[in-house]
Amino acid sequence: MKKASKGSGGKSSASKSRTASYPQRPKPAPRKKKSTAKAASRQSPTRRTSKGKRKSQRSSGMLTPIVNWGGAIALWCLLLGGLFLGYFAYTLPDISGIGVIEKRPSMVLQTADGIRYSTYGDLYGDMLPIEDIPENIKQAVLATEDSHFYDHFGLNPVSLVRAAWRNYEAGRVVQGGSTITQQLAKNLFLTPERTLGRKIRETLLAFWLEAEYSKDEILALYLNRVYFGSGTYGIDAATRKYFSKPAPEMTMAEAAMLAGLLKAPSYYAPTRNLERAQDRASVVLNRMVVEDYLTPEEAEKIRSNPAVLVNASQDFRNVRYFADWVVSEVQAYIGRTTKDLVITTTLDLEMQADAERAIEARLKAEGTAMDVSQGAFVAMSPTGAVKAMIGGRTYSESVYNRATVARRQPGSVFKTVVYLAGFENGLAPDDIFNDSPVNIDGWQPNNYTNKYNGAMTLREAFARSINTVAVKVTEQVGRDKVAGMAKNLGLTGNFPLHPSISLGTYEVSLLEMTAAHAVIANGGTTVLPYGVLQIREKDGPVLYQRQTSGQGKIITAATINKMQDVMSATIQWGTGKAANPGFAAAGKTGTTQDYRDAWFIGFTPDLVAGVWFGNDDGSATKRVNGSNLPAITWKDFITHSETSHAVAFNQLEEKKSTDSIWDRIVNAFSNRNSASQSSGGAPVSDDLKIPEKKDSFDYLEKQRQMP
């Protein structure tokens, strides 16, 4: 504003002269003083008639202090308000590093053929300038988040009032009134807490952003930084995550889905519920029609062909159990790092889907009736490459991994370890043991059926999961040999040399137990289960590359052949016959006391899989045992995932016995007694006696009837 010239404020000489030429007015003559009585008589009526005037004067006199106090209060309010805003302005976060992204290192997990299925940390894509951001996503976001973005100054009072009224009517927060600028301020500088102080800082930062940047720059910053769920920030990361393409290639349907995520990224995430995400995208399209970005016909055409995820037909709800396990192993491979990583893994998505379906099918069909609430599953190659992993029924309800972390009693599945120790120490499938009561220092184990069957081969004892024979094998070869075999197979933990070691009373994990059976499947070589094939920096060098396994042989081929023999019998006609897939397979059932744990672990020439069912609190189920739910689940999975369908295992050629069963019983007894006496080895069990033919009729009849 121009200031007034100095001359304009003074009087002119002409005006002075005019004032000086006026004649002087004569002073009036002084009035005579009246008497006191007359004055009094005349003053009284005058006071009475001027009463209202004096009252008005008194009223205005009373208002003067009020006005003065009001002004003072207003002044103090302005002063305090200024101090209040000054405090929040002073405590604003540092805004000098607006172009610097502070984020957690990201890890992207993918299959061997490059399909990405899980991310950890903060995943950002390319930072796109406004001209490279597609119009469809800009319009979709503006229509739903801030339709007056190009008209306001960072704050939209109308939206705030409307949101406040709707929230008041609903009795809860159902609508926000924040502009895109306010959201950007919050995303860049503030925490998500809902407090008055945070809202004031957000508003001040929004004003600052509007003053420092153009509208296009603010919109570009917002779209490159906003959270789209699943650990992804910015539209480029989101389109690559959900649609496997860069942002400039997104379609209108995909843009509508991404814009719909902004309201609640986790709730509307298409990876969690694709139909819900598509419904939300439809709402976005409606808003775009209202804002004249689309015609109703265009919106309807897009709505009829909604966006879908890459490989969305396969719902890998529980893949995070495997992913969590892999991520926990990364530091052991490369140490600590702050780099973004791409991890290539052993996971087979089709097998993972088969495992999820098989577990859920059994729990859905039998869970309530049989009082069983949880299941776990592991599948791996015979060399230990984990192909599928289920750590529980639903990851979203429980992240506790029952396949890798939980340790449960394996029950009769542990008999695999017992028999391996026995076969390594000279026993054979055709050796005869007596199924009869056992008493070791007062410990008297029973069979599952509480019945005893007399003399039988180790093949039958294993296939029928006879407890007494497993105990006798352990006592004959030595408990220390059984514990040593467990450790050689990779089972961790403490294995006290108690007689009950033979019945699987010590806790193991499903992953470890499945890997132990993989040793039998691969011919006797050590197995260390693994899920990582390669680790590399994003757009950088390879940090780790898995080499061909160099593990050594720990079990002889002869022992492996014997073990595959008895385990095949388990599936063909023993306790695991419900798992029989119709091609070469071997396995073992396991059930713990009171049906608290039920297991089945088995293998084909190409694949090893383990199943567990039970309850997290260790409560008893209603007769869930290894022969029913686990065996059925294993068969369901293996018939879908095993592709070779080999007719037999590759075994060393052995001379087949032509003796009758009775001759084998007598010869086995005679040979073992003579061997024991000549070598000073472990004595034959006292209760193992050559049965009379008449006492063995039932046994021989059962052998003839077995398929």
Residue that finishes a domain, picked among 271, 303, 335: 303
Q: Tokens in use for 187?
A: 């995303």
Instruction: Please report whether residue 591 resides in a domain.
Output: no
Section 402-420 average pLDDT: 97
Looking at residue 163, its pLDDT comes to 57
The pLDDT tens digits of the residues spanning 562-616 come to 999 999 999 999 999 999 999 999 999 999 999 999 999 999 999 999 999 999 9
Domain-embedded: residue 357:
no
226 lies in some domain: yes
Residue 536 lies in a domain: no
The answer to the question of residue 252 being in a domain is yes
In the listed set 303, 319, 335, which residue is the last one of a domain according to the structure? 303
Q: How far is the C-alpha of 703 from the C-alpha of 271, rounded, in Å? A: 54
Strands (E), 168-250: 232-233
580 part of a folded domain: no
At a CB cut-off of 8 Å and minimum separation 6, what does 531 contact? Answer: 322, 325, 326, 329, 345, 346, 347, 385, 386
Return the H-helix or E-strand segment holding 432: strand 432-435
Same domain, 294 and 432: no
pLDDT on residue 667:
47
CATH number at residue 262: 1.10.3810.10
Q: Are 239 and 254 in contact (CB under 8 A)?
A: yes
Q: How far is CA 493 from CA 367, 389, 399, 504, 506, in A?
A: 31, 22, 23, 13, 8
Q: Which two tokens stand for residue 702?
A: 């059962």
pTM, 2 dp: 0.71
Instruction: Count how many domains the chain has.
Output: 2
The answer to whether residues 574 and 419 touch, using CB atoms and an 8 Å cutoff, is no
Residue 132 lies inside a defined structural domain of this protein = yes
469 lies in some domain: yes
Instruction: Please tell me the distance from the alpha carbon of residue 87 to that of residue 407, in angstroms, as a whole number.
Output: 56
* One domain for residues 299 and 417: no
Residue 502: which of 610, 590, 615 has the closest Cα?
Answer: 590
Report residue 309's pLDDT band, with 50, 70 and 90 as the boundaries. Answer: confident
| Residue 287 CA from chain centroid, whole number | 33
Is residue 555 over pLDDT 80?
Answer: yes
The CA distance from 522 to 449, in Å, is 33
What are 563's two structure tokens? 């073990």
- pLDDT value of position 167: 59
Residues 6+ apart with CB under 8 A from 672: 431, 684
Structural domain containing residue 181 = 116-303
Q: Give the residue numbers marked as catalytic.
A: 145, 412
Tell me: do 277 and 152 sit in the same domain: yes
Helix residue spans in 389-509 (DSSP H): 415-424, 458-463, 467-477, 479-488
Mean pLDDT score across all residues of the chain: 80
pLDDT > 90: what percent of the chain?
57
CA dihedral 379, 404, 593, 598 (to 10 degrees): -20
Query: Where does a domain end: 270, 303, 336?
Result: 303
